[in-house]
Amino acid sequence: MKYTTQMDAARKGIVTPQIETVARKENMRVEDLMERMARGAVIIPANRNHVNLDPEGVGEGMRIKINVNLGISKDCSAIEPELDKVRAALDLKAEAIMDLSCYGKTQEFRKRLVEMSPAMIGTVPIYDAVGFYDKNLQDITVDEFFDVVRKHVEDGVDFLTIHCGLNRHTAEKIKKAKRLTNIVSRGGSLLFTWMEINQAENPFYEHFDRLLDICEEYDVTLSLGDGCRPGCLHDATDACQVEELITLGELTKRAWERNVQVMIEGPGHMAMNEIPGNMMMEKRLCHGAPFYVLGPLVTDVAPGYDHITAAIGGAIAGMSGADFLCYVTPAEHLRLPTLDDMKEGIIATRIAAHAADVAKGYPGARAWDDSMSKARAALDWPGMFDLAMDPVKPRQYRESSKPEHEDSCTMCGKMCAVRNMNRILEGKDIQLDD
């Protein structure tokens, strides 16, 4: 029996290699996974042309996955440094990489990325359109926008971020809303500008079926972008954000009718108390489709530390129903992240994802923490390092400050609580003095 997409296969009862792999990774019955895929609650982004993909599931009952943004720009157009970041991101176990390239040899970078990465790959084609055609944004035609989309999927991209929900009606609300930060989505702002100058509808909204044709042909997942995501706490959960979300829910149903897999992108900046409500609202308005969030960043006043503000929000979001976390680095709002910035962002986001998995009771999540606790109780330093999310940093800390006694550290020395409890319970003398 033939199938067009992973969703189509699940609906027809066909077990694809990708479905089999994800079921094994998630310790889930194939039948349960396929039932969730059939109703759109789980996606497996897997472009037919991404031949070395190691597929992952995103959505209901899955372990929370993380995404890493990178790519070349006009100010930083060298390909090799970005590919070094790709290698590091894969080493740090990122499940997805989004190529946000917007200038230079974007197709060369994209092709090399797909070729080298077993992680799923996403792109935002509108970023690439301006540089690719080397013309003013307003002069790009509808056909040219869709031609760039097709080039991306032909190159093997697994999911596409397209800001389909920012239509002219919502754009009018943006102009009246008196937001503090207006539109902070790069893709959303480009489409808003194109619509305003040309007095035309968003081509991806107006010609949504044309987009679905491309996605269905290559089995590409559609990541419905949040052009109205809040760029500050003040703008969170306003009418613009909610109206766009309602539109995305309508588009989700249209995509599912074509067996095209969908996930929904979400905020943004948001106070902690608003996050659970936003997660519930997305799931209700978008019919249980997987939710992909940037942060949310829970305060606006920590530039240089936004990997922390985002990790706080990401943990709450994940615990409350988000399925996919986009990393945020210390360089957010400030510059293109360096390799070190990227590493800090990945670890912070992985911490948030794992903390949420523990809180949700994901099978096996707490066992990792219990193993670390046993190693700590035994003062098994090599064991602790092997279990660490990032083994390198704790080893460096330990090596940089050697204690007098191996069963302690330079913080407490012989007063180490763990050391002394182990000794006294074993019937040994403690001897705190030298």
Given this model, what pLDDT does residue 329 score? Answer: 97
Task: With a cut of 90, say whether residue 106 has pLDDT above it.
Answer: yes
Given this model, what pLDDT does residue 406 score? Answer: 84
Task: With a cut of 70, say whether residue 47 has pLDDT above it.
Answer: yes
- The answer to whether 333 is annotated as binding is yes
Q: What are phi and psi of 84, to 5 degrees?
A: -60, -40
Instruction: Give 378-424 as a DSSP string.
Output: TT-HHHHHHHSSSSHHHHHHHHHS--SSTTS-TTTGGG-HHHHHHHH
- The answer to whether 69 is annotated as binding is yes
Task: With a cut of 90, say whether residue 424 has pLDDT above it.
Answer: no
Q: What is the mean pLDDT of the segment spanning 155-170?
A: 97
- The answer to whether 136 is annotated as binding is no
Angle at 65 between CA 13 and CA 67, to 5 degrees: 120
Q: Residue 154 — very low, low, confident or very high, per pLDDT cuts 50/70/90?
A: very high
For residue range 3-30, what is the model confidence (pLDDT) as tens digits?
999 999 999 999 999 999 999 999 999 9
For residue range 130-151, what is the model confidence (pLDDT) as tens digits?
888 888 999 999 999 999 999 9
- The answer to whether 350 is annotated as binding is no
- The answer to whether 205 is annotated as binding is no
Residue for token digits 């084609």?
125
Helical spans, DSSP H, in 268-364 = 275-285, 306-319, 339-360
SS3 label, residue 223: strand
pTM (2 d.p.): 0.95
Task: With a cut of 90, say whether residue 351 has pLDDT above it.
Answer: yes
Instruction: Give CA separation, 201 vs 39, 177, 252, 264, 299, in Å.
Output: 30, 20, 19, 21, 34
- The answer to whether 284 is annotated as binding is no
Q: What is the mean pLDDT of the segment spanning 40-45?
A: 98
Given this model, what pLDDT does residue 434 score? Answer: 55
Percent of the chain with pLDDT over 90: 88
For residue range 210-255, what is the model confidence (pLDDT) as tens digits?
999 999 999 999 999 999 999 999 999 999 999 999 999 999 999 9
- The answer to whether 228 is annotated as binding is yes
SS3 label, residue 42: strand
- The answer to whether 416 is annotated as binding is yes
- The answer to whether 415 is annotated as binding is no
Q: Residue 433 — very low, low, confident or very high, per pLDDT cuts 50/70/90?
A: low
CB atoms within 10 A of CB 67: 25
Mode of pairing for the β-strands spanning 120-123 and 96-99 = parallel
Q: Output the average pLDDT for the chain.
A: 95
- The answer to whether 265 is annotated as binding is yes
Q: What is the mean pLDDT of the segment spanning 283-312?
A: 98
Q: What is the mean pLDDT of the segment spanning 303-329?
A: 98
Cβ neighbours of residue 93 under 8 Å, at least 6 residues apart? 350
Could you tell me the domains of the chain? 6-360 (3.20.20.540), 367-425 (no CATH)
Give the DSSP H/E element, type plus range, for residue 66. strand 65-70
- The answer to whether 412 is annotated as binding is yes
- The answer to whether 189 is annotated as binding is no
